[in-house]
Amino acid sequence: MVSCPRRIADVPRSSPATPFALAIALALTACSGGVQGKPGASGVSDPYFPKLGNGGYDVTHYDLTLSYDPGTKRLNGTAEITAKATQDLSAFNLDLKGLDVDEVTVGSVGSEAREASAASEGEHADARWNRAGHELTVRPHDDLDQGETFLTTVRYSGTPETLTDPDGSEEGWLRTADGALALGEPTGSMTWFPGNHHPSDKASYDIKVTVPEGLQAVSNGELKDETTLNGRATFTWHTAEPMASYVATVAIGTYDLTRTTTKNGLPVVVAVDPTQAEASKKVLASIPEIMEWEEYNFGPYPFTSTGAIVDREDDADYALETQTRPVFPGAPDTELLVHELAHQWYGDSVTPKSWRDMWLNEGFATYAEWLWQEDHDGDTAEETFNSLYQGDYYDDPDLDEAVWAFPPAKPSSAERISDSPVYERGAMVLHKIRQTVGDDSFYDILQGWATAHRHGNADTADFTAYVEKSAPDADFTEVWDDWLYGEGKPAKP
């Protein structure tokens, strides 16, 4: 390593190229020219959302400080983003939609040399930045070295947006009757905080939200602090386990908040809009029972708390598996609660590498519904499978036919990643695996898959390789070729 002084006396151009002068020139080259950084990519080339996410760094932690007033609909935020450079960086991008950026600073974390340099100029140097669409491009005062941990602080404000998904559903910062609800799948999280908004980059979170006194702010993980001062209430939530940004949430409003535990002592935190309390009471009381059943079938629960958020039916038109605390528009039924809690294993802990792999979320959670019904005096999974195949599962023939519109592992476009083939046909793939290997090996695969990629990311190729390794004597050719990747309706054996 070459130690680089901050100033070196100029050498006249006419000076002879003495050995000493050459040494100085080489030192300068090593300091400034040899390891110059390059901009990180403005996207991770997701097959359906190519400009979502960013290259050149990996986020390890988000510390979000938010203040929201439902009356003015104004959000003020500070995002402190701890990340590690995966290349020499001269610039990097963050995803942020709509909100105004007030200030950006970048400072190093843990590098003695750079910290010493920063001390002479301020701990965190102002960074240059510019906006283009949802891309916030940040240029640090000094290039960042590969492997360097750095802290980016973004101060921002404005009226957060609601986005319309490719499939027509609304996401982002949704205004509710008494507050707001943040839902992120697949791109909505960029409407309320800057970050690397692709499921392949997961991080821990601290989320502090200040709202007018009388309202509450509910988020992921554990409530660490709650204070009231000068007519404002502040709630601080902490998520220690890695979380993809699309399953981060904030729910602001008036809620009936209950805290219980499962038999194993797992905290259960449930927030219910008072208008939904009576209709939700019975089904939400079954969370400990569902958790016990899912742990038995899927293995140890991957997080340190669970629960639910139930808002009004007109606040959103879909449920979402927000980590540790799924969101429901109105009182859920038991199967929907089973589905969203199963996502805590399949989707939140084992998260897809790209949006093409959504069947690894939805196929598993749908099959969890089938298994619950099978174990609770409903149809067996085999009966549900046969009903879908025969075309009499739905009352509408068009819905029955839609199951075969495309293979679960190959949605035809971004607007189709939440369609029936991803859910129902994805579950049918799992049932074909069960038919191939038998129940004992199948449940070993369910649990082993959740364990092998716990708190990580995986794709379809990872899954097929894991299944084949787990059952080396079985032949999965038909399952993969016809059911997972094949076009149209497979021939039933």
Strands 57-69 and 74-85: antiparallel
**Alpha-carbon gap, residue 422 to 430, rounded angstroms:** 12
For the ranges 59-73, 102-116, 407-421, the lowest mean pLDDT is seen at 102-116
Residue, of 6 and 24, whose pLDDT is higher: 24
Q: How many CA atoms lie within 13 A of 156 on its CB side?
A: 28
| The pLDDT of residue 19 | 41
Q: What are the residue ranges spanned by the domains of the chain? A: 57-254, 350-484
Confidence band, pLDDT 50/70/90 cuts, at residue 314? confident
| The pLDDT of residue 315 | 86
| The pLDDT of residue 125 | 84
Q: Tens digit of pLDDT for each residue in 217-267?
A: 999 999 999 999 999 999 999 999 999 999 999 999 999 999 999 999 999
For 201-230, what is the mean pLDDT? 99
For 382-394, what is the mean pLDDT? 97
For domain 350-484, which architecture applies?
Orthogonal Bundle (1.10)
Q: Tens digit of pLDDT for each residue in 343-382?
A: 999 999 999 999 999 999 999 999 999 999 999 999 999 9
| The pLDDT of residue 35 | 59
For domain 57-254, give the CATH superfamily.
Answer: tricorn interacting facor f3 domain (2.60.40.1730)
- Is the pTM above the cut of 0.85? yes
Are the C-beta atoms of residues 321 and 383 closer than 8 Å to each other?
no
- Characterize 384-422 residue by residue with b for buried, 16 or more Cβ atoms within 10 angstroms of its Cβ, and e for exposed: bbeebbeeebbeeeeebebbbebbbbbbeebebbbbbbb
For 118-144, what is the mean pLDDT? 84
| The pLDDT of residue 22 | 35
Q: Note whether 57-254 and 350-484 share their fold.
A: no
- 333 by Cβ neighbours in 10 Å (0-12 / 13-18 / 19+) ranks as exposed
Helix (H) and strand (E) counts for the chain?
Answer: 13, 23
Terminal-residue alpha carbon distance, the chain = 65
Q: Is the pLDDT of residue 26 over 70?
A: no
- 487 by Cβ neighbours in 10 Å (0-12 / 13-18 / 19+) ranks as exposed
